[in-house]
Structure 1
Amino acid sequence: MQVSASANMTAMMARTRDLELVIRHVLAGLGHGIHAGRERGAGIEFSEYRAYAPGDEWRRVDWKLLARADRYFVREAERDSHVAVWLWLDATASMAEPSRDINGVDKLWFARTVLACVAAIAQRQGDAFGLVICTGGTVEFTPAARGPRQLQRVLAALNGATPQGNLPSSETLRASLHFARAPSMIFAASDFLDWPSPLSEALLRLRNMRHDVRLLTLRTQAEVDASFKTGTGYRDPERDDGLHRMSNADREHYKQQSRAHFDSVVASCRQHNIVHYEARIEQPLNSVLRSWLQLAGARAK
């Protein structure tokens, strides 16, 4: 398969751990935010200045300060809002699955980079945002807060996430849902190879609690079209049930089973009015982010 110029850009970004650099590239020209409405007037108080970054709205630039300092600064605001943005990352072992077409890109890198961009948008909008990471059978939290320092905390936690182990148990996740007592938007990125699962049960419970849940399913191109090399050995990293090899005869059966599984994910999301978007990690990351946010925004109108 030929790798496009956009995919080459993704590969280039994959070779750096600087999520801030990736965010600047992806968000350049992304004019819309996480939700359609923004609060104006009462309830918004000036907080601080920060340096202009690509994607910031020009109307927030302080032109008087530009005249004095000869640099662009934007005004940060604290808004009186009870809605928090929660980023939910699946960092279990299956998320280590790499692209067969782009070196250095795997599901976890793609997931945490997309969520980092959502965090940057939330910070730019003045929303409180936090992070939930499922990894190695445990749940790791970064409590919700606002501002540039919170963005640095979230980026550090995302950078430190490594793919390991299984999902936490249903009981562990159920006990962890206290973080979403106030109205929240939940952006969850996973391969959702297990559905139903403790993760899907937790997300459906959050939706039943009237939270706005938005899912991003990530797959590799090889998983979609079963283009694994014939005879190549494969071991499920989250199960201890031996080595599997795919023959040409297995290929069509695999595709049918895979499509049936993800059709059931889509049907479940539709039944519970959950925004769901499926992407391949070989796609341009900025295109995936834009489509995911636009899909969520269309429902909010």
Structure 2
Amino acid sequence: MFPWRARNSQVRAPARRGPNQGAPVKPRPVPPLLSGATLTDRVPPVISGFARPAVIPPGLPPRRKEWTHLRPKDLKALKNLLFAARIIVEGVHSGRHKSPYRGASPEFIDYREYNPGDEIRTIDWKAYARTDRYFIKLFEKETEMNCYILVDKSASMSYGGEAYRGLLPTHDVSKLDYAFFLTAALAYLMVKQGDKVSVSLFDSRLVRHLRPGGTFPHLYEILNALERQKAGERTAISRILEEAYPLFRRRGLLIVISDFLDEPETIFRALDRYRHRHFEILLFQVLHQYEFELPPFERVKFVDAETGETIASRPADIRTSYDAEMRNFIRALSANARARNIDYNFVTTETPYSEVLRKYLLSRSSR
């Protein structure tokens, strides 16, 4: 045995003065679990390669093994998708989107003449050798994007889904659940690519507002908020847009998910305020297939989900006029959006939401 090796397997502390010289090293105690946490919180599950925190911080919503509106099997369809901003956005941390502020980054954009007070390290000495004048390089600063998602949870969004089992020829998700699927997927994409996302739920008032955040614990808070929501009262989209306006302090991307069963002119008049602040705006109009085209029934009682008003009629008698009115309404929304350079997407609940997002993001990236 080499002379410098220990004679036994017991590890001893370095020599020091005092009575404890050569005492065995005591292992560091493991910190106790936080209040309310369980032992399983030490080995948290993983969503698409991103681990959750080791212990839930105080105030964070309780975990779920699987959320209703963001399932692991659906994440595969969102893999490799990016949501790039088409406008200049404001942020305080570095990211992948162009900022209105200029700073140091790898992307060179222009020269300007040196002024007293500028940093000497930004001088381009090659340009000085060619022109005998001092120039500094300008670079594009990149920042994170702030995404604000407004989700309609009014009574009309409850159409379809479990409540209509046996009443409709086909059974699928309600408009509200479909809107929540879109919201969860968009929030996941934003957090995954390092951006901040805010979610606000509304009916006749702003029911819940989650401030922008860019961490996975923030995403879990959004998912937990969606779990507890049910359809509410009648809606007033234009008033909600006015109410939410001061909450969105930094310009970025505004996404509104609704059936938009309101006056198009008032909706877009409210959206104009966001356009004047250079927000990028994206609309998802979610309708059930039997709102877009009447079901094949002989006689139907139409019920307004928000007012309770009822009308009994035969679909065959009104099908032509109903289809014309609905198509004119959708055409008016689309025309108003196009005139303002707003992205408008019409979707029905029978189309998988992941397919809708993939198709939109691929077309967006090709522009």
RCO higher in structure (CA 8 A, sep ≥6):
1
Give the counterpart of 2:158 among 83, 96, 105: 96
Question: CA-to-partner distance for each residue in 1:151-180, whole Å, 9 max, x for gaps?
Answer: 011111222221121224745541321122
Output the amino acid matched with 2:69.
L
3-state DSSP of counterpart to 1:19: coil
Give the equivalent residue in structure 2 for 1:131.
199
Which SS does the other structure have where 1:217 is aligned?
Answer: strand
Match of 1:18 among 33, 58, 68: 68
The answer on whether the counterparts of 2:69 and 2:184 sit within 8 Å (CA) in structure 1 is: yes
For residues 107 and 216 of structure 1, what CA distance do their matches in structure 2 show?
11
Name 1:105's counterpart in structure 2: 173
1:39 equivalenced with 2:114 (yes/no): no
The within-5 A match list for 1:86-235 is 86-98=148-160, 100=168, 102-168=170-236, 170-171=238-239, 173-196=241-264, 199-235=267-303
Q: Which amino acid aligns with 1:226?
A: L
Name the SS of the counterpart of 2:151 in structure 1.
strand
Check if 1:242 corresponds to 2:291: no
Cα pair distance change 1:199/1:27, threshold 3 Å: farther
| Identity %, equivalent residues | 21
AA of the residue aligned to 2:287 = R
What is the alpha-carbon distance in structure 2 between the residues aligned to residue 182 and residue 83 of structure 1?
A: 9
Q: TM-score, structure 1 length as denominator?
A: 0.73
Could you tell me which runs of 5 or more consecutive residues in structure 2 were left unpaired when the two chains were aligned. Answer: 1-65, 87-94, 98-103, 106-140, 162-167
Query: Which structure would you say has the larger Rg?
Result: 2
- TM-score computed with the length of structure 2 as normaliser: 0.61
Secondary structure of the structure 2 residue equivalent to 1:218: strand
Amino acid at match of 2:71: L
Q: How many angstroms apart in 2 are the aligned matches of 1:33 and 1:256? A: 37
User: Do the aligned residues in 1 keep the contact of 2:78 with 2:358 (CA within 8 Å)?
Assistant: no
1:109 maps to a residue whose letter is: D
Q: Is the 8 A contact 2:268 2:336 kept in 1?
A: no
Q: CA deviation at 1:26?
A: 4.2
Contact 2:172–2:350, Cα closer than 8 Å, also in 1: no
Q: Which runs of 5+ in 1 are unaligned?
A: 1-15, 44-78
Whose helix proportion is higher, 1 or 2? 1
Between the two proteins, the alignment pairs up a number of residues equal to: 249
* 2:74 alignment partner AA: H
Map of 1:85 onto structure 2 = 147
**Given residue 286 of structure 2, which amino acid in structure 1 is its aligned partner?**
L
CA shift digits 1:85-113 (9 cap, x unpaired): 11111111110111645435110111110
- AA of the residue aligned to 1:291: K
- Contact kept in structure 1, 2:254 and 2:279, CA below 8 Å: yes
Q: Would you say the 8 A contact 2:301–2:310 is kept in 1?
A: no
Distance of 1:172 and 1:221 partners within structure 2: 26
Cα deviation 1:173-198 (Å, max 9, x = unaligned): 41321122312111221111213276
2:55 is matched with none
Equivalent-residue separation in structure 1 for 2:78 and 2:213 (angstroms): 26
d(CA) in 1 for partners of 2:303 and 2:191?
A: 40
Q: Distance in 1 between matches of 2:149 and 2:284?
A: 11
State the SS of the aligned residue for 1:129: strand
* Separation (CA, whole Å) in 1 of partners of 2:78 and 2:250: 31
| Deviation for aligned residue 1:129 | 0.7
Provide the residue aligned with 2:41 in structure 1. Answer: none
How far residue 218 of structure 1 moved from its aligned partner, in angstroms, is 1.2
CA deviations 1:242-297 (Å, max 9, x no partner) are 33434311111100000000000000000110001111100122111212323443
Q: Match of 2:286, SS?
A: strand
SS at match of 1:193: coil
CA contact (8 A) 1:102 1:282 kept: no
Relative to 1, partners in 2 of residues 1:258 and 1:108: Cα closer, same or farther, differing over 3 Å?
Answer: same
